[in-house]
């Protein structure tokens, strides 16, 4: 399976995080939101992710075809978000996204792709912005009943830039389905993790 990934990055002051509006602001001790942190180790920073019914964190894009059965999943876009480092001094935060897949009839999601890591500087008072990242299938997914979810993994590095002081993993929960020939719809909500369907119609 041919996969291409791309992303963008920019840095914003932490005041920009406060201007985001409806976001899930999460750290090791923060309350749960639409974006669900399920694993932390060591010391982690605050993460600000827009992942709501009004602004889903993931966009699932489908092929536009004459046959409904042929309108398979082509692209999964993980929206950008802000992240802080727990240190008061600037340190590197590394970001990977992980595509997980649940086969028809299974209850388990297994990793099928892990992106390269993007590292950017941040501190406890100054956030870094990790831009949109795309997972592109070499050809549209067939109507195989599979489901796909996105996991975000953040790695927090020490002052030397190599030692790891903390790791955070969380799941995106709201997934917007987009097809050029049909209306948009979302799957997932706070506390009820959604997914990208293999086919827009089934």
Write the CB contacts of 159 (distance below 8 Å, at least 6 apart in sequence).
87, 89, 91
Whether 96 is covered by a domain: the verdict is yes
Backbone angles phi, psi at 118, to 5 degrees: -105, 125
Q: Does 189 map to a domain?
A: yes
Give the pLDDT confidence score for residue 191 in this predicted structure. 82
Total-model pTM: 0.84
The verdict on residue 130 lying in a domain is: yes
Structural domain contains residue 157: yes
Residue of 46, 56, 101, 92 lying closest to 77 (CA atoms): 56
Q: How do strand 128-137 and strand 147-157 relate by DSSP bridges?
A: unpaired
How many domains would you assign to the chain? Answer: 1
- Asked whether residue 141 is assigned to any structural domain, the reply reads yes
* Residue 112, in any domain of the structure: yes
* Segments forming the whole domain that contains residue 44: 3-197
| Contact present, 173 and 190 (Cβ < 8 Å) | yes
* CA triple 178-95-99, angle to 5 deg: 45
Question: Looking at the domain assignment, is residue 202 inside a domain?
Answer: no
Could you list the mean pLDDT of each consecutive 10-residue stretch along the chain, which spans 202 residues?
A: 40 37 40 77 96 94 91 96 98 98 95 98 98 94 91 98 98 96 92 92 90
């Amino acid at each position: 399976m041919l996969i291409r990934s791309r992303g963008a990055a920019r840095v914003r002051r932490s005041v920009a995080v406060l201007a985001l509006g409806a976001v899930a602001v999460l750290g090791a001790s923060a309350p749960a939101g639409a974006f669900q942190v399920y694993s932390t180790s060591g010391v982690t920073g605050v993460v600000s992710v827009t992942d709501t019914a009004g602004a889903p964190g993931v966009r699932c894009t489908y092929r536009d075809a004459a046959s409904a059965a042929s309108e398979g999943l082509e692209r999964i876009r993980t929206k950008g978000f802000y992240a802080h480092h727990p240190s008061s001094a600037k340190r590197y935060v590394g970001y990977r996204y992980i595509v997980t897949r649940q086969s028809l009839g299974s209850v388990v999601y297994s990793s099928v792709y892990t992106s390269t890591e993007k590292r950017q500087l941040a501190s406890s008072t100054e956030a870094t912005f990790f831009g949109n990242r795309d997972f592109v299938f070499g050809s549209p997914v067939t109507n195989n009943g599979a489901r796909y979810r996105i996991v975000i993994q953040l790695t927090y590095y020490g002052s030397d830039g190599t030692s790891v002081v903390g790791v955070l993993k969380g799941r995106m929960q709201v997934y917007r389905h987009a097809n050029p020939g049909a209306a948009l719809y979302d799957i997932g909500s706070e506390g009820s993790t959604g997914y990208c369907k293999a086919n827009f119609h089934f």
